[in-house]
Structure 1
Amino acid sequence: MSVGVTAEAEEYHSKDFEWETLKQEIENNPSLHYHFLPFPPPPSSSSSSSSSQQQQQTLNDSDAWRKFHNRHSAGKFFKERRYLLKEFPELVSCGESSKLLEVGCGNGSTILPILRGNKDIIVYACDCSSEILERAKEFVETSDVASVKNRFFPFYCDFCTTGFPEWLACNYCRGSRPQKQHDCFSDIEEKNRPQLTYLSRESDSSIAGVDFVTLIFTLSAVPLQGMPRALRDCYSVLKPGGLLFFRDYGLYDMTMLRFEPEQRVGFREYMRSDGTRSYFFSIDVVRNLFVDAGFIEVELEYCCVKSVNRRNGKSMQRVWVHGKFKKPL
């Protein structure tokens, strides 16, 4: 790994300040009190009506992210996440033909450094935007990655609204719930799923699960009530003993504090002007979500990084949550 990549990795996994100190500072600032106010519950309605409203909102969220990707399809909006090789060294040291599922791959900013860092790993990558998948495929194929044709398989999957396709199922999940296999992947009826579009996969045959799943700034874009199902889906495609690598926005991150009161759509949940949403995680929330889904916690901590905006010279306090979780053997 080059000196530049090592420096970048250390920058993104450091503790320039203590999270508890930042918490006290933010919560003692009267101008930011609206971030911590209880969020009023939605008006009471029948369970069927509430379920329908949630499904409609989820569809709206997916549509907003598709439009976002279309606007930023050139790829300049994202930088390659080379620091992930330092964060999760298992992606470099894993055995030959290990399989990874990247959830919400975007333009390939996570995929490329992983494919470069391990010439034997096989990557399956999904997103809710066919356009951005084509762009990711183009970026990977025109890169300097060796033997990419047989190691990169992008496919369409709307993580917010449906579970993963049947061919991703691990053998353990197939064997433990044979009466209705698709329950492992989604609480939404099979007939309501959109037709999956395979961009480079030649066969629908089962791959018997994956060794790793990466959730990198993806779960925060899922409505809070949909996160438990999303994590159960991830659990179901992992082989026993497999690892899920997590990185996402942490509570009191600078971007959270920039949201205005009217942009709050839930407790610690916000919506941008373009319709995309973001949730800001505490350690406790992440722990509860993953443990409830069946995972074993391996690592879980805040990454607190102080960076400087090169254009205006202002210091920015960034907070991310770093996690590593294991599916029991």
Structure 2
Amino acid sequence: MSNQEMEYHSNDFDWEELRKRIEDDSTLGYHFVPFTPQSSSSSLDSQSWNQFHARHSTGKFFKERRYLFKEFPELASCAEYSNVLEVGCGNGSTALPILRCKENILVFACDCSTEALDRATEVIHASNVASVKDRFRPFCWDFSTCRAPKWLICDSCYETSLQKQNTSLPDNDINSSERDSNSTDITSSKKSECCIGGMDFVTLIFTLSAVPLHRMSAAIAECFSVLKPGGLLLFRDYGLYDMTMLRFEADQRVGFREYKRSDGTRSYFFSLDIARDLFLSVGFVEVELEYCCVKSVNRRKQKTMHRVWVHGKFQKPM
């Protein structure tokens, strides 16, 4: 492992000390006052991300996430022919290192942005990974607004999975009529007559924060439904008081700890308590949950940046 990689993933400072310093700063007080979000349409989510990925079509905006196996060693030690679902695959920066590490693993990758899926396919097919075209299965799916496609989990298996959750999803959270529209030629990879039999892992890496807060529970429930019993969800996302949160202006707030960028994409910053409540409320069991605090130095600007991420592992009960 390189020195840069080791530095990037160490715990460099205490989160509680950072919290106190930020909350004592009067110039940042607008981040912490109560906020009543206005009702807004979510129809521009995929359009905003399509435009985002079109602007960053070279793929250089996202670096390959080589730290995955240090943070999630379960991926490196998984059984042969395991199924992984990468939710919100972007340009493939998470899927590619997984495909590199395990020669027999199958990576199913979804995104709400067709532009992102095109970029991911180009990047991964251009790699020198063995049999990558057979092992990378991209498809379009917005997991926060519609159910998983039927080839991934059929109606019978979906209902069985719902019965195992602690809470039921409101009918208006998931548009069941959209399931058929998500069908692709991946149906040829079915393991049984009804569906492919579930995922061994779901990775949710810097994806949930882009979902409106009121849709997060339904989105996580979809992840729960496609996992096999005993399967793991691997989570990493923006944490409370991360430097990117503090860069948002007051007029960019669209909720409490929730912001929208000028390009229409949005970001939420998780506390451990909120993350725990979201995952446990749909039936997951907590395996790991902690802040990852990283001090990064911009040598050109001689500026120290305090990055905060939430790292978590959640398991579907056997």
TM-score between both structures, scaled by the size of structure 1: 0.88
Instruction: Please name the residue that 1:89 is paired with.
Output: 73
Are residue 25 (structure 1) and residue 21 (structure 2) matched? yes
More deviation, 203-212/78-87: 203-212
Instruction: Please name the residue that 1:187 is paired with.
Output: 173
More deviation, 168-177/154-163: 168-177
2:61 aligned partner, one-letter code = F
Instruction: Please name the residue that 2:221 is paired with.
Output: 232
Are residue 265 (structure 1) and residue 254 (structure 2) matched? yes
Are residue 304 (structure 1) and residue 293 (structure 2) matched? yes
Aligned partners of 2:118 and 2:217: how far apart in 1? 29
Count of equivalent residues: 308
State the Cα deviation string for residues 26-72 of structure 1 (Å, max 9, x = none): 00000000000000354xxxxxxxxxx55xx2212222112111111
Aligned 1:65-144 pairs, distance under 5 A: 65-144=49-128
Aligned partners of 1:285 and 1:177: how far apart in 2? 22
Aligned partners of 2:187 and 2:63: how far apart in 1? 30
Aligned partners of 1:237 and 1:36: how far apart in 2? 36
Q: Residues 327 and 202 (structure 1 numbering): CA distance in 2 closer, same or farther, change over 3 Å?
A: closer
Q: Secondary structure at the match of 2:188?
A: coil
Instruction: Please name the residue that 1:244 is paired with.
Output: 233
1:151 Cα deviation after fit: 1.1
More deviation, 128-137/251-260: 128-137
Are residue 161 (structure 1) and residue 114 (structure 2) matched? no
Aligned partners of 1:63 and 1:138: how far apart in 2? 20
1:135 aligned partner, one-letter code = R
Q: Residues 185 and 13 (structure 1 numbering): CA distance in 2 closer, same or farther, change over 3 Å?
A: farther
Contact 1:9 1:86 in 2 (8 A): no
State the Cα deviation string for residues 164-200 of structure 1 (Å, max 9, x = none): 212222885454669xxxx7998333335682263x6
Q: Secondary structure at the match of 1:215?
A: strand
Contact 1:220 1:278 in 2 (8 A): yes
Q: Residues 11 and 186 (structure 1 numbering): CA distance in 2 closer, same or farther, change over 3 Å?
A: farther
Aligned match for 1:316, one of 275, 299, 305: 305
Aligned partners of 2:212 and 2:130: how far apart in 1? 37
Q: Residues 192 and 154 (structure 1 numbering): CA distance in 2 closer, same or farther, change over 3 Å?
A: closer
Instruction: Please name the residue that 1:203 is paired with.
Output: 188
1:204 Cα deviation after fit: 7.0
More deviation, 84-93/219-228: 84-93
Contact 1:172 1:239 in 2 (8 A): no
Aligned partners of 1:96 and 1:76: how far apart in 2? 31
1:147 Cα deviation after fit: 1.4
Contact 1:61 1:276 in 2 (8 A): yes
Aligned match for 2:35, one of 36, 39, 49: 39
Contact 1:250 1:282 in 2 (8 A): yes
1:280 Cα deviation after fit: 0.2
1:117 Cα deviation after fit: 1.0
Aligned partners of 2:172 and 2:197: how far apart in 1? 17
Structure 1: runs of 5 or more not aligned: 43-52
User: What RMSD over aligned residues (CA atoms) do the two structures have, in Å?
Assistant: 2.2
Aligned partners of 2:272 and 2:189: how far apart in 1? 38
TM-score between both structures, scaled by the size of structure 2: 0.91
1:196 aligned partner, one-letter code = N
State the Cα deviation string for residues 243-293 of structure 1 (Å, max 9, x = none): 000000000000000000000000000011111100000000000000001
Contact 1:8 1:82 in 2 (8 A): no
Aligned match for 1:13, one of 2, 9, 13: 9
Contact 1:58 1:161 in 2 (8 A): no
1:73 Cα deviation after fit: 1.8
More deviation, 319-328/135-144: 135-144
